[in-house]
Structure 1
Amino acid sequence: MKKEYAVYKGDLMLVMGTAEECAAEMGVLPEYIRWLTTPTAKRRLARRKHPERCIVADVIED
C-alpha cells in the first residue's frame, strides 16, 4: 500500500494523494513531495522568516 500525503501552504490544503498524484497536480517530482516530509525539510521550514508561506507535506496515517 502506498503512502498518502497531504500538501499544505499555510492553512490551505493544496492537494492530497500519493506522492505521484500530488506531484502531477503541482507540477513537481514525486521525490520533492517525499522530501517535504523529512526532518531536514522541517528544520529548514522552522528557520524561515515567514514559515506560513511555505509548502509543507505530512504523511497521512490510516
Structure 2
Amino acid sequence: MAEYAMYKGDDLLIIGTLTELAEFQKVKRETILFYATPTYQKRTTDKGLRVIRVD
C-alpha cells in the first residue's frame, strides 16, 4: 500500500496512507489526492498543504 507525506510549508505533519491522512485532516480521500496534484499546488502558496507520495 502506498504511503504519503503531508507537509504544511516546511513542517512534516503526518506520514501514512490516504485514509490515515484523510482522517487526520477530516476530509475525503479524494481531497488528499487533490492536494497532491499540480493544479492544487498552483492555486496555493508555498505555505499551503502539500502531499507527496513516498515510495
Report the TM-score when normalising by structure 1.
Answer: 0.75
Q: Residue type matched to 1:39 in 2?
A: P
Q: Root-mean-square deviation (CA), in Å?
A: 1.3
Unaligned 5+ runs, structure 1: 46-50
Q: Residue type matched to 2:31 in 1?
A: Y
Partner of 1:60: 54
Greater than 6 Å deviation, 4+ residue runs: none
Instruction: State the aligned residue count.
Output: 55
Using the alignment, how far apart are the partners of 1:52 and 1:40 within structure 2?
13
Using the alignment, how far apart are the partners of 1:27 and 1:42 within structure 2?
20
Report the TM-score when normalising by structure 2.
Answer: 0.82
Q: How far off is 1:28 after superposition?
A: 1.3
Q: How far off is 1:40 after superposition?
A: 1.3
Q: Residue type matched to 2:52 in 1?
A: D
Unaligned 5+ runs, structure 2: none
Q: Which has the larger radius of gyration?
A: 1
